[in-house]
Structure 1
Amino acid sequence: MAPRAYWKGTLKLSLVSCPVVLYPATTAAEKTRFHMINRETGNRLKQQMVDSETGDVVESDQKGRGYELRKGKYVEIEPEELEAVQIESNHTIDIESFVPSDEIDQRYLDHPYYIAPDGKAAIDAFAVIRDAMKDQERVALAKIVLTNREHVMAIEPLGKGLLGTTLRYPYELRDEDQFFDDIKSPKITRDMVELAGHILHTKAAHFDPSKFKDQYETALKALVKRKASGKTIELPEPEERPSNVVSLMDALKQSLRGRGGGRPSAKSHGRRTTGRGRAAKKVHRSTARQRKAG
């Protein structure tokens, strides 16, 4: 049984329209989460809003929204004023254009949603729109209102349904130049590039998310289980950092001879996860310092 729909409305392509429902394509329900507690009583803590200047607790009827004009100077915005600029949802996903999928910059992709027909009467029109998009190999760009804000959504076929992904606006992206301008352009020999290419070739694989293992999450669950059963938490020994300095060419050659080269890609995945394994060990260190709060 499908979960409750997040949004209901109409998918519209010119004069063709059909009722659809949206479901979030992601979930954080399985993530391990912690609450802040009182170490003395074991009770959960709750937050209070405090005036930054007076230190007084502010009651709910005194809370408002303000935009900071300059440091410490705010203009208060009333709820009814916010309502005046909110976009009224017409519950329509109106397709405006179709673009080649490879033209969409991956940085713009935000939240994914599954789009399905709403009821038997919608199936025919839904299938026509979906299959036409498959034939054209293009992604639809449409506008949709979610939580009182207008979003641009990229829509593409996914199995029997559609995948709609809200896109970020240009003002939400940082310019890469401010991060990359200071990167130098050293002179690298062709031999180095070719050696690195060989290493890449030995690690060639296909995208398979079923192989993704969240070792941090696994370590957290194990930690909580041990604590709940009254067992002590043993802290791992600090890792020794290698002190020898290896030249880039030597590192490439060693990677090709030993760790990186000569093995199928399936083994490479196992090797890659060792870095995450080290990260998982850090979990024990950091969580042990806060073990009573967990």
Structure 2
Amino acid sequence: MAPRRAYWKGSLKLSLVSCPVALYPASTSVEKTRFHMINTETGNRLKQQMIDEETGDVVEKQQKGRGYEVRKGKYVAIEKDELEAVQIESTHTIEIDSFVPADEIDKRYLDHPYYIAPEGKAGVDAFAVIRDAMKDKGRVALGRIVLTNREHVIAIEPLGKGLLGTTLRYPYELRDAEDYFDGIKSPKISKDMVELAGHILDTKAAHFDPSTFKDDYETALKALVKRKAAGKSIKIPEPRETSDNVVSLMDALKQSLGGKKGSKPAPRRAASRGGSRAAKKAHRSAARSRKAS
């Protein structure tokens, strides 16, 4: 049974219609294998300490504070009450500002997903009205929510009996794609190559099914820990040798489509045409000989 401890509680408001709701994190990393830093001689867990990088002294908890680097090595200290003065007051209300088509939301902006469920029985009707109206219109609601003292834009859409809320990144949090794509060359690719690649895509066509996702590294980690805990030896595999063979793109495409790795490339068309012409010439010579006799 999944834990039902709400991450946030408040109201979902659409104009004059509102209902109490609760947010629950839709993702978790609890099942991932994690390691702790230990002393390899004693087997004891290590504890981290904060060290003054100039004096090398250990800094106690009550001495720690926040600072912003205004220039190299120069920090301005920000007090806790000063931070509280600029924090947005948590209204505990998700105010819906607009409804947009789902396909207009750039996937790069998607951040953290949350399940949104009605809190208590009082607002179930209003919750269902807002949810079903979005289903009918095929739209995603954009609203604002305060989480951990920061305001976030949140995209809300129907999901089964409930709603899925996904916080969105701000534009300043995204890097410009042109910085990475601008230098990509535009080579001339033959139509045959594109068609071959298209055929390969067709052979691997499927539907999105997350149940088929397998985390092979996580499985290997669990097996490693289990074997080590049982006192068994761990065999370190030999490094793989990389092949220096250069295969032409066209041959690689043909081999991929055939599904036979390392198979011989198909004969060139020119050679096939040459063999065909020779056969036709021999046939014509034999016919003339029969006619002459």
Matched, 1:115 2:112: no
- Aligned positions of 1:127-138 closer than 5 A: 127-138=128-139
Q: Alignment RMSD, CA only? A: 1.0
Shift of 1:212: 0.2
- Structure 1: which amino acid aligns with 2:242? R
- In the alignment, what sits opposite 2:239? 238
- In the alignment, what sits opposite 2:93? 92
Identify the structure with bigger relative contact order (alpha carbons < 8 Å, sequence gap 6+). 1
CA change 1:259–1:50 in 2 (3 A) is farther
- Structure 2: which amino acid aligns with 1:224? V
Name structure 1 gaps, 5 residues minimum.
261-294
Shift of 1:70: 1.1
Secondary structure of the structure 2 residue equivalent to 1:142: strand
Runs ≥4 residues deviating over 2 A: none
Shift of 1:122: 1.3
2:65 and 2:260 mapped to 1: Cα distance?
58
Once the two structures are superposed, residues 241-278 of structure 1 have per-residue CA deviations (whole angstroms, 9 ceiling, x without a partner) of 12210011110111111259xxxxxxxxxxxxxxxxxx
- Structure 2: which amino acid aligns with 1:162? L
- In the alignment, what sits opposite 2:189? 188
1:116 and 1:249 mapped to 2: Cα distance?
53
1:12 and 1:125 mapped to 2: Cα distance?
9
1:201 and 1:40 mapped to 2: Cα distance?
56
1:147 and 1:259 mapped to 2: Cα distance?
54
- Aligned positions of 1:88-237 closer than 5 A: 88-237=89-238
CA change 1:189–1:238 in 2 (3 A) is same
- Aligned positions of 1:268-279 closer than 5 A: none
Once the two structures are superposed, residues 268-292 of structure 1 have per-residue CA deviations (whole angstroms, 9 ceiling, x without a partner) of xxxxxxxxxxxxxxxxxxxxxxxxx
- Structure 2: which amino acid aligns with 1:121? A
Secondary structure of the structure 1 residue equivalent to 2:123: helix
Matched, 1:55 2:56: yes
- Aligned positions of 1:31-70 closer than 5 A: 31-70=32-71
- Structure 2: which amino acid aligns with 1:12? K
- In the alignment, what sits opposite 1:21? 22
> TM-score, normalising length from structure 2?
0.87
1:49 and 1:148 mapped to 2: Cα distance?
25
Once the two structures are superposed, residues 134-175 of structure 1 have per-residue CA deviations (whole angstroms, 9 ceiling, x without a partner) of 000000000000010000000000000000000000000000
Secondary structure of the structure 2 residue equivalent to 1:97: strand
| Equivalent residues, number | 260
1:3 and 1:230 mapped to 2: Cα distance?
39
Once the two structures are superposed, residues 158-194 of structure 1 have per-residue CA deviations (whole angstroms, 9 ceiling, x without a partner) of 0000000000000000000000111111111111111
Once the two structures are superposed, residues 23-57 of structure 1 have per-residue CA deviations (whole angstroms, 9 ceiling, x without a partner) of 00000000000000011111100100001111111
Secondary structure of the structure 2 residue equivalent to 1:11: strand
1:224 and 1:192 mapped to 2: Cα distance?
46
- Structure 1: which amino acid aligns with 2:258? R
1:3 and 1:132 mapped to 2: Cα distance?
27
- In the alignment, what sits opposite 1:268? none
1:231 and 1:192 mapped to 2: Cα distance?
50
- Structure 2: which amino acid aligns with 1:27? T
Shift of 1:113: 0.2
1:233 and 1:37 mapped to 2: Cα distance?
19
1:80 and 1:87 mapped to 2: Cα distance?
13
CA change 1:205–1:129 in 2 (3 A) is same
% same residue: 81
Shift of 1:100: 0.2
- In the alignment, what sits opposite 2:284? none
- Structure 2: which amino acid aligns with 1:232? S
Name structure 2 gaps, 5 residues minimum.
262-293
